[in-house]
Amino acid sequence: MIRLLALAVLTAPLFLASTTGWLRHVPPEAFAVGHVVYFLVAGLLILNLPQLRGRSPMVQQLVLYGIVLAASLLIEALQSIAGRSASLRDIALNLAGASLAALWALPSGWFRILTLMLGPLAVSLLLYNPVLTLMDRGLARIQHPVLGDFETALEVRRWSRGTRDDTISRSGRYSLRLDLQPGPFPGTMVRRSLGRWSAYDCLAMSVFNPDPEPLPLTISIRDHEHFRRGGAYADRYNATFTIHQGWNDLSIPLTQVRNAPRARRLDLDQIAEFVMFSRNLEHSRTLYLDRVQLGPSGPGDDACQH
């Protein structure tokens, strides 16, 4: 019991940091693992309570799941009151950690064998997306200042829309194909793995339009402060480019991005979203995006001398 209490104390930061936000520099996906680990340890503590010893495995598990579910619902409710969004995924991760602890309370036999097979599988499915996202964050650090060249399937996960395509590319083998559907704001965005921009002079990218008809494309860049201020249109960078048939090499000076908000300077080291979209499309269009990168704007640089 003492060892379990010590483990609970040691693993508490893995869980508590995600609910309080006091470790802002840690990728949020890491806390998905923390939820499972913490409630695995907490579950073992619950199952070792003197009141549960000698009880049937069914009673032990009912008590375990009841406590964990009640605690999870209470935590999510308190987060909602504090202005943070509740998460059903967090509740599922908590229960997954409790499920791993419950395995040890099961009697031997086919039911335990089945649970031993299905329990880790369920946990693996829940952690699949967070683990891949953590891997992509690591890849993004290696690639920086390239934000996307689409040569690996993993980095496509950074973009909300788009598929990797090998029929048209500006550099390398692949580009990101964007199939824009009719609607008010069809496009794509990146919400993570953006890194720090302050050491660079420009943002460059190549966009291919296969159609003779030009297409207006708006690029919007927002930092975290933009959302804390309410998300006003005038508090972010917005610019519209006309994408003609063939390859279009775009270069955006980061001084324009920094000075875009009317009442302040945009924080280039705290970029929250990079968005590309068209407006009020009446019929489907396709674009190809390639080699999105930051770079200096001096002589001889290939990234920003378009």
Report the pLDDT value the prediction gives residue 232, as an integer from 0 to 100.
95
Rounded CA gap, 137 and 128, in Å? 14
For the chain, the structural domain boundaries read: 2-143, 146-295
Write down the pLDDT at residue 241: 97
Of the listed ranges 64-73, 127-136, 229-238, 289-298, the one predicted with least confidence? 127-136
User: What is the reported pLDDT for 51?
Assistant: 81
Residues 170, 177: Cα–Cα separation, whole Å: 12
Tens digits of per-residue pLDDT, 49-96? 888 777 777 787 788 888 888 888 887 777 656 555 556 677 777 887
- pLDDT digit string, tens, across residues 23-53: 555 555 566 777 777 788 888 888 878 887 7
Least confident span in 222-226, 238-242, 286-290, 295-299: 295-299
Q: Please give the pLDDT value at position 28.
A: 58
Question: How would CATH label the architecture of 146-295?
Answer: Sandwich (2.60)
How sure is the predictor about 22, in pLDDT bands with cuts at 50, 70 and 90?
very low
- What is the pTM assigned to this prediction? 0.65
Lowest mean pLDDT among 25-39, 163-177, 258-272, 290-304: 25-39
Q: 3-class secondary structure for the chain? A: CHHHHHHHHHHHHHHHHHHHCCCCCCCCCHHHHHHHHHHHHHHHHHHCCHHHCCCCHHHHHHHHHHHHHHHHHHHHHHHHHCCCCCCHHHHHHHHHHHHHHHHHHCCCCHHHHHHHHHHHHHHHHHHHHHHHHHHHHHHHHHHCCEEECCCCCHHHHHECCCEEECCCCCCCCCEEEEEECCECCCEEEECCCCCCCCCCCEEEEEEEECCCCCEEEEEEEEEHHHHHCCCCHHHCEEEEEEECCEEEEEEEEHHHHHCCCCCCCCCCCCEEEEEEECCCECCCEEEEEEEEEEECCCCCCCCCCC
